[in-house]
A and B are shown apart, each in its own frame.
Chain A
Amino acid sequence: ETGVTQSPTHLIKTRGQQVTLRCSSQSGHNTVSWYQQALGQGPQFIFQYYREEENGRGNFPPRFSGLQFPNYSSELNVNALELDDSALYLCASYKQGIDEQYFGPGTRLTVT
């Protein structure tokens, strides 16, 4: 157990809809990253938040957005869902100055 939790575990949405995924970081961790893992592939970096500000972004369109809250919990929002958005979404938290990111169990999103 890493202390990082994500909700929901599974989610089914229809193309064009919007979705919000949630992550609760490990206690004391002020940085969170989100990754998308398509079936049979390695995770891809979406973006990172540090102290409630976006701190780096991967090659994902603006319809992927995020928030980090004062308690360091985080949300990933995806608008105008596409079939290719179907994937496992992972969040990872860490504290500045340590060398390890702690991953949550992920949210499996299916877009039909």
Chain B
Amino acid sequence: AQSVTQLGSHVSVSEGALVLLRCNYSSSVPPYLFWYVQYPNQGLQLLLKYTTGATLVKGINGFEAEFKKSETSFHLTKPSAHMSDAAEYFCAVSERSGAQKLVFGQGTRLTINP
């Protein structure tokens, strides 16, 4: 079985500061990893994904994440936070490329302070 743990249900940073959202996963097979963002009253938008190849993945809106197999982690970072980054972020894992069910973490609410 697969699972995802997001450390910190709520993260608050100042505008312009580094954003770091933590995600650890458990999987008995090589995982595919995703970060999604959800704005209020909206569906999920894919930020970035890791399937195979380069372990540092760049996504939209300046976000990136690094797959670390030894640490079973896939933390999301952004060098400089913007007010528009305020949203709920979800880390997810699947067994196969898009085909199987996505297993999501509980989410991290990101607040940006002016």
Footprint of B on A, CB under 8 Å?
2, 4, 31, 33, 35, 40-45, 48, 56, 58, 90, 92, 94, 96, 98-106
A95 to chain B, nearest CB (A): 9
Interface size for B (C-beta < 8 A) is 24
B90 touches A104 (CB 8 A): no
B70 within 8 A of partner (CB):
no
A68 to chain B, nearest CB (A): 15
**Given A41-B106, A42-B105, A42-B107, A100-B43 contact (CB < 8 Å):** no
In the complex, given contacts A42-B104, A92-B44, A102-B46, what are 11 additional A-B residue pairs having Cβ atoms less than 8 angstroms apart? A33-B102, A41-B106, A42-B106, A43-B90, A43-B102, A45-B103, A56-B101, A58-B101, A96-B99, A99-B51, A103-B36
Taken together as a complex, chains A and B put the C-alpha atoms of A92 and B15 apart, in Å, by: 32
Q: Could you jot down 27 A-B contacts, CB within 8 Å?
A: A31-B99, A41-B106, A41-B107, A42-B90, A42-B92, A42-B105, A42-B106, A43-B44, A43-B90, A45-B102, A45-B103, A48-B101, A90-B44, A92-B44, A98-B97, A98-B98, A99-B49, A99-B51, A99-B98, A100-B46, A101-B46, A101-B102, A103-B36, A103-B43, A103-B44, A103-B45, A106-B42
Footprint of A on B, CB under 8 Å?
4, 32, 36, 41-46, 49, 51, 90, 92, 97-107
Partner of A105 from the list B42, B51, B97 (CB cut-off 8 Å) is B42
- Name B52's closest neighbour in chain A (CB-CB): A99
Taken together as a complex, chains A and B put the C-alpha atoms of A35 and B94 apart, in Å, by: 14
A99 touches B43 (CB 8 A): no
B90 touches A94 (CB 8 A): no
Taken together as a complex, chains A and B put the C-alpha atoms of A105 and B41 apart, in Å, by: 8
B105 to chain A, nearest CB (A): 5
